Amino acid sequence: MTKILLVGCGKMGSAMLAGWLERGVSSGDVVVVEPSSPDLGAVRVVASDAAVPSDFAPDVVIFAVKPQVMAEVVPPYARFERSVFLSIAAGKTIAFFRQRLGAKAVIVRAMPNTPAAVRRGITVCCAEAGVPTGARDLCQSLLEAVGEVGWVEDEGLMDVVTAVSGSGPAYIFLLAEAMEAAGLAQGLPPALAERLARATVAGAGELLRLSSESTEQLRRNVTSPGGTTAAALSVLMAESRGIPSLMTEAVAAATHRGRELAG
């Protein structure tokens, strides 16, 4: 069985852990390093790297802590020389981990997103050319426990991936928030405005997931010429201040910030 050392058990770490356990990973094959020492049932939790049991030899070490603390967290794990190192931190490059884990370390960089909590996430991974197929397959299998998995060969694209899908759920939540506020402004009762916004965004997302039609065609399917949707889209698609131009600007800003985090 695969032995997993999970470093950090916040929202994403706990989502992955739940997905692994649901897929049949034994709690005895997982050790979690988390200073807050949450109660994770039968899963062993230790407060620091020094407390990892000496007889525990992980096949994979997963770094699921915030990018801002990664530099101080990573180095002690270099002792696990036979492990695959998988990072889900935004902005931190393979070179960053190579510097701290050694020249021979097998490193995979990944960017999941928060729908992993309901097993609807998508993760994009990147590894250097010399990373063994078995290591890639192991990472893919673990990440598939929380959703879809894709790969890119050009690590430079990982910052764009982060900007589109890693940060993307926040964009959708903001859309629902804005729809709710707009409904309130037009006189809807608060409870109904929230319900309409949530159900509409969730339902449209599920239709998008299941449909074979393009996003453009799905939009056109809702839009009757001269109708209410067309009136709204004339505002939302305005060239200078509409969603397309704003989204391009937003993703560019997030991509830039990701590159800054690389340090």
- The string of pLDDT tens digits covering residues 156-171 is 999 999 999 999 999 9
Tell me the pLDDT of the chain averaged across its residues.
Answer: 95
263: pLDDT strictly greater than 70: no
Domain boundaries, the chain: 4-161, 168-261
1: pLDDT strictly greater than 90: no
Q: What is the pLDDT of residue 260?
A: 85
> What percentage of the chain carries pLDDT values higher than 70?
100
> What percentage of the chain carries pLDDT values higher than 90?
92
- The string of pLDDT tens digits covering residues 23-55 is 999 999 999 999 988 889 999 999 999 999 999
* CA nearest to 261, candidates 97, 72, 112, 91: 91
114: pLDDT strictly greater than 80: yes
- The string of pLDDT tens digits covering residues 174-219 is 999 999 999 999 999 999 999 999 999 999 999 999 999 999 999 9
168-261: which CATH architecture? Orthogonal Bundle (1.10)
**125 vs 32, 119, 157, CA distance in Å?**
22, 17, 10
10: pLDDT strictly greater than 70: yes
Sheet bearing 121-127, strands edge to edge: 44-46, 30-33, 4-7, 60-63, 84-87, 106-111, 121-127, 147-151
Q: What is the pLDDT of residue 143?
A: 97
- The string of pLDDT tens digits covering residues 90-99 is 889 999 999 9
Q: What is the pLDDT of residue 254?
A: 95
For residues 231 and 236, give the distance between their C-alpha atoms in angstroms, rounded to a whole number: 9
Split at pLDDT 50, 70, 90, the class of 251 is: very high
Contact (CB, 8 A) for 126 and 94:
yes
- The string of pLDDT tens digits covering residues 51-86 is 999 999 999 999 999 988 999 999 999 999 999 999
**130 vs 104, 108, 126, 209, CA distance in Å?**
10, 11, 12, 34
Entry pTM:
0.91
Residues 6+ apart with CB under 8 A from 176: 197, 198, 200, 201
4-161: which CATH architecture? 3-Layer(aba) Sandwich (3.40)
Q: What is the pLDDT of residue 129?
A: 87
